[in-house]
Amino acid sequence: MNWTSPVIFAGAGPGATDLISVRALEAVKSADMIIYAGSLVNPEILKSARQDAEILDSAAMSLEEIITAMQRCVQTKGHILRLHTGDPSVYGAIGEQIKELDKLGISYEVIPGVSSVFGAAAALKTELTLPGVSQTIILTRRPGRTPVPEGQDIKSLASHKATMAIFLSVSEISELTEELLDGGYSLDTPVSAVSRATWPDQKIIRATIGTIAEKIKAEGISRQTMLIVGDVLKNSGEASKLYDAAFTHGYRKGTEEIQPLPAKEVQSIKECAVYAISEAGSLKAKELAEKLGADLFLQEKFKLCENAVYFESGALEETIRNNWKNYKSHIFIMATGIVMRKIAPLIKSKLSDPAVLVCDEKMQFVISLLSGHIGGANRLAARVSDLTGAQAVITTATDVQNVMAFDELASIRKWQIQNPEMIKTLNSALLEKKKIAVRIPEEDFKEFYAENPKIKLIRSSSDISPDTDCVVILDELVNTGDIPCLFLKSVM
Q: Within a 10 A sphere around the Cβ of 269, how many other Cβ atoms?
A: 12
Identify the CATH number of the domain in which residue 447 sits: 3.40.1390.40
- pLDDT-above-90 percentage for the chain: 69
The model's pLDDT over 86-96, given as tens digits with 9 standing for 90+, comes to: 999 999 899 99
Boundary-marking domain end, from 63, 88, 114: 114
Provide φ and ψ at 410, rounded to 5°: -60, -40
Structural domains of the chain, count: 4
- Which residues, given as ranges, of the chain have pLDDT below 70? 236-268, 492
CA distance between the termini of the chain: 74
CA-nearest of 329, 357, 353, 347 to 270 is: 329
Say yes or no: 101 and 207 in one domain: no
Say yes or no: 157 and 104 in one domain: no
What pLDDT does residue 459 have? 87
Q: In 3-state terms, what secondary structure has residue 91? A: coil
Q: In 3-state terms, what secondary structure has residue 380? A: helix
How far is the C-alpha of 294 from the C-alpha of 273, rounded, in Å? 6
Say yes or no: 94 and 123 in one domain: no
What pLDDT does residue 175 have? 95
Establish how many alpha carbons lie within 13 A of residue 20's alpha carbon, considering only the half-sphere containing its beta carbon.
Answer: 23
What pLDDT does residue 43 have? 94
Boundary-marking domain end, from 211, 234, 257: 234
What pLDDT does residue 242 have? 58
CA-nearest of 148, 173, 175 to 223 is: 173
How far is the C-alpha of 352 from the C-alpha of 6, rounded, in Å? 59
The model's pLDDT over 416-464, given as tens digits with 9 standing for 90+, comes to: 888 888 888 888 988 899 999 999 999 999 999 998 999 999 988 788 8
CA-nearest of 383, 413, 475, 398 to 438 is: 475
299 touches 310 (CB < 8 A): yes
Say yes or no: 369 and 410 in one domain: no
191 touches 165 (CB < 8 A): no
Q: In 3-state terms, what secondary structure has residue 268? A: coil
How far is the C-alpha of 272 from the C-alpha of 344, rounded, in Å? 19
Expressed as residue numbers, the domain containing 391 is 266-395
> Rounded to whole angstroms, what are the CA distances from 189 to 138, 290, 342, 464?
16, 31, 10, 56
